[in-house]
Amino acid sequence: MLLISQNLAKYNMGFPKDAVFRVNLAWVNNIQELIDTLKKHKNHSIFLDLPIGRLKPPNNKYTLKDLITILKSYKQIKYFAISNVTSSNDISKYSKLLPENIIIVPKIENPSSIDNMKEIAKELGNTEKIVMLDHEDLYASLTKTNDSTKFQSYVEKLVDFCKKNNITLLRARGIIFSD
């Protein structure tokens, strides 16, 4: 899956037709702005990213209630990422409320997420299974507990688990700088 950030849309770059357009709600100021973005990118599948427990700016907040109508109305929303998933409990309420056509994508951002991957994967059910690794947040989490030397081993543990269990692991593969 090629996942492209909404921030790149500001630079009039063309996106491949099969690219998935990621909308990180932390960077969306209000529901109307989200609707406008969805309308503008109606020809791409959408990966909606809900920041839960985000501390760094920007930090716009949305409730699931705010989003359910949008999730039901805009069929191009195919993926729904949830930040800071550490256990199946962090996913279960979404599994019950989201439309069935939307794939839940847990964002893996700390060591306990990786330690609990078997439980998290079970909660994803029988649909296509996808998880997203946030390398920076994982590293920051390990640094807070003076365990940053374990970063690479946690990444390898997650990669191995995903390979063995046929789970797509989304990882950042570079960055674009511009003026």
- In three state form, how does the secondary structure of 62-126 look? CCHHHHHHHHHHCCCEEEEEECCCCCCHHHHHHHHHCCCCCEEEEEECCHHHHHCHHHHHHHCCC
- Percent of the chain as helix, strand, coil, to the nearest 5: 45, 20, 40
pLDDT digits (tens, 9 = 90+) for 87-121: 999 999 888 889 989 999 999 999 999 999 999 99
- pTM: predicted TM-score of the whole model, two decimal places: 0.90
What was the pLDDT predicted at 96? Answer: 87
Q: How confident is the model at residue 59 (pLDDT cuts 50, 70, 90)?
A: low
What was the pLDDT predicted at 103? Answer: 95
Report yes or no: 113 and 85 within 8 Å, Cβ to Cβ.
Answer: yes
> To the nearest 10°, the Cα dihedral for 55, 59, 65, 68?
-110
What was the pLDDT predicted at 58? Answer: 67
For the record, the structure tokens of 126 come out as: 């029988």
pLDDT digits (tens, 9 = 90+) for 28-46: 999 999 999 999 999 899 9
Where is average pLDDT lowest: 23-32, 50-59, 123-132? 50-59
For the record, the structure tokens of 59 come out as: 């930090």
